[in-house]
Amino acid sequence: MTGSPRTSPVWHPFCQHKLEPVFKQIVGTEGAHLIDEDGRSVLDAISSWWVITHGHRHPVIMAAIRLALERFDQIIFAEYTHEPAEELARGLIRLAPSGLAHVFYSDSGSTAVEVAIKMALGFFHNRRALRSRVVVMEHGYHGDTIGTMSAGERGVFNAAYTPLLFDVDTIPFPAPDREQQTLDALERFCRGGNVAALLIEPLVLGAGGMKMYSPRLLTEFRRITERYGTLMIADEVMTGWGRTGTLLACAQSGITPDILCLSKGITGGALPLAATLCTAEIFDAHLSEDRSRTFFHSSSYTANPIACAAALANLEVWREEPVEERIQAIAGMHHDRLARFRSDRRFVNVRQQGTIAALDLAVETTGYLSEVGPLLRTFFRQRDVLIRPLGNVIYLMPPYCVTVGDLDRAYGAIEEAAGFIEKAAR
């Protein structure tokens, strides 16, 4: 049955129900596609909000979930441990940059970052060091909990909740003409001696508009934070699991953050799970016979065994299948297809990082609330392509099973959409 915004009791995320059309039901998924109630195959060109990596219902991951269901449901993780969580932690540490030694589980990207912020503040609190400030990057987005909203860009997303938010220090986005300004701002904040952590999305700012910057800047951020004893938190919730062309975006700079946040693709998109990795030094700052130095964070579904089993299967897919070759193939396809848009006056800021391609529609009103956003969503939906623009920013982030034909279809729809918007503006 179709879900009407006027009759359904469901409240959908990031949706203005007064303006939304009827919500069609998805009755099945397969590979890079969603199957709706009318039997139409919809190309999932944004990986269902960036979580699906290898494709919907990857057989290895589905089999692992079925097997885990025969043995487990939720187990209280404050009292016990279990094999899927132990094996996954070891696997994540093997894949992570050298120096990360401990894994704390949660259940979403927002909570992974919330955990990271609390780890950083707890680290200095337990060492009796007076550091409480967090530095973030302009246009950043880290989630929708109170802590992560505080660390994100202020605006329409969180204006109603301003009384709940704490202050942070913000460095400018390192656009090509102001990279040094960004570095100088970070150094100035860190030099003040009160900064506990720098929290950033490596290489690509996702919800902030798919803004991209050089790996060289990431190296410089790490150099500055190390110089002043500031912790570096890498929010790889979106950028991890191959999206930027490497397993982790941090790999392109050869750095090890003090804290690393993972979610979304950790289970291949099959089940919700998150992990916050940290160094032994951060763990040890909470290790004491004094119970007041405990790391006080949990959720009821911490380290869900079935989700951990799905994540273990995801690691197996990365080991056994040519995932990196698929990623490079997608990057090459993006590169070739973006070429024609670079000289198209209807688009600006055509850009790419690994499997992420983005371009801005040249319209008068820009930003998330640009009136072209809903028009574009409707246009793409009518063509059975799931592309959810960030206002006038159109982006593609497909699953790694996407075909040449799939991408041609998506890029064709983007080109056609520009003409549609141009005519609508006349």
Which pLDDT tens digit goes with each residue over 138-196?
999 999 999 999 999 999 889 999 999 999 999 999 999 999 999 999 999 999 999 99
Provide CB contacts within 8 A for 94, sequence distance 6+.
none
Distance CA 138, CA 205 (A): 9
Decide which of 320, 343, 372 is a domain's last residue: 320
- Residue 15 domain-assigned (yes or no): no
Residue 79 resides in a domain: yes
Q: Is residue 20 part of a domain?
A: no
Cα–chain center distance at 80? 30
Chosen domain end from 320, 344, 366: 320
* Cβ neighbours for 367, distance < 8 A, ≥ 6 positions apart: 391, 392
Lowest mean pLDDT among 233-242, 263-272, 274-283, 358-367: 358-367
Instruction: Write out the residue range of the structural domain in which residue 251 sits.
Output: 61-320
Look-up of token digits 């990207």: 109
Residue 41 β-bridge partners: 35
Q: Are 391 and 372 contacting, i.e. CB atoms less than 8 angstroms apart?
A: yes
Residues 181 and 47 in one domain: no
Please tell me whether residues 135 and 214 are part of one structural domain. yes
Name the phi and psi angles at 91, rounded to 5.
-65, -40
Least confident stretch, 10-19, 78-87, 178-187, 377-386: 10-19
pLDDT tens, position by position, 98-134:
999 999 999 999 999 999 999 999 999 999 998 999 9
State the DSSP code for 24.
P
For residue 11, is it within any domain? no
Q: Among residues of the chain, what percentage have pLDDT more than 70?
A: 98
Strand, helix or coil for residue 289: coil
Share the mean pLDDT of the chain.
96
β-strands 393-396, 356-361 pairing? antiparallel
Q: Could you tell me if 341 and 273 lie in one domain?
A: no
Q: Which residue has the tokens 């970070």?
A: 186
- What pLDDT is stored for residue 21 in this prediction? 76
Smallest CA-to-CA distance from 239 within 266, 272, 217, 271 is with: 266
Q: How far is residue 93 CA from its own chain's centroid?
A: 19
Tokens of 399: 């699953």
Which residue blocks in 4-58 are alpha helix, DSSP H? 47-50
Q: Is the dihedral of CA 101, 107, 110, 111 positive or negative?
A: negative
Count the alpha carbons within 13 Å of 103 in the hemisphere toward its beta carbon.
26
Span between the terminal Cα atoms of the chain, in Å: 38
Residue 422 one-letter amino acid: E
Residues 282 and 214 in one domain: yes
Per-residue pLDDT tens digits for 50-100 = 999 999 999 999 999 999 999 999 999 999 999 999 999 999 999 999 999
Residue 78 in any domain: the answer is yes
In contact, 120 and 343? CB cutoff 8 Å? no
Non-local (6+) Cβ contacts of 167 within 8 A are 150
Q: Can you tell me the mean pLDDT for 363-372? A: 89
338: amino acid identity, one letter: L
What is the reported pLDDT for 222? 98
- pLDDT value at position 425? 73
User: Domain with 149 in it: what CATH number?
Assistant: 3.40.640.10
5, pLDDT greater than 80: no
Better pLDDT: 426 or 344: 344
* Tokens 């303006």 -> residue: 19
Q: For residue 183, tell me if it sits in a domain.
A: yes
Q: Same structural domain for residues 121 and 265?
A: yes
Same domain, 129 and 97: yes
Question: Is residue 94 located within the same domain as residue 236?
Answer: yes
How many domains are there within the chain? 2
Examine the domain organization and report whether 103 and 217 are in the same domain. Answer: yes
Cβ atoms of 398 and 406 within 8 Å: the answer is yes
Residue 334 to residue 51: CA distance in whole angstroms = 19
What type of residue sits at position 359? L
Q: Is residue 21 part of a domain?
A: no
Phi, psi of 20 (to 5 degrees): -75, 145
Which of 293, 320, 347 is where one domain is finished? 320
Q: Is 120 exposed, middle or buried (0-12, 13-18, 19+ CB in 10 A)?
A: buried
> CA-CA distance, 198 to 214, in Å (whole number)?
17
The whole-number average pLDDT for the span 385-406 is 98
- Confidence at 1, pLDDT banded by 50, 70, 90: very low
| pTM, 2 dp | 0.96
Residue 2 confidence (pLDDT) above 70: no
pLDDT at 4: 53
Whether residues 109 and 150 share a domain: the answer is: yes
- Band of residue 6 on the pLDDT scale cut at 50, 70, 90: low
- Which comes out higher in pLDDT, residue 3 or 289? 289
β strands within 239-382, DSSP E: 259-262, 274-279, 347-353, 356-361
SS3 412: helix
Same domain flag for 122 and 217: yes
| N residues, the chain | 426
With a cut of 90, say whether residue 20 has pLDDT above it: no
Neighbours of 116 (CB within 10 A): 32
111 and 189 belong to one structural domain: yes
Distance CA 46, CA 56 (A): 12
| 71 and 170 fall within a common domain | yes
pLDDT score, position 3: 53
Per-position DSSP letters for 82-133, written without gaps between them: -HHHHHHHHHHHHHSPTTEEEEEEESSHHHHHHHHHHHHHHHHHHTT----E
Return all residues near 195 (Cβ < 8 A) that are at least 6 apart: 131, 133, 134, 135, 169, 189, 228, 230
Please state, in angstroms and rounded to a whole number, the distance separating the CA atoms of residues 33 and 31: 6
State CA 211 to chain mean position distance: 13
Q: Which of 240, 304, 241 is nearest to 107 (CA)?
A: 304
In a domain, 18, yes or no: no
The pLDDT of residue 156: 87
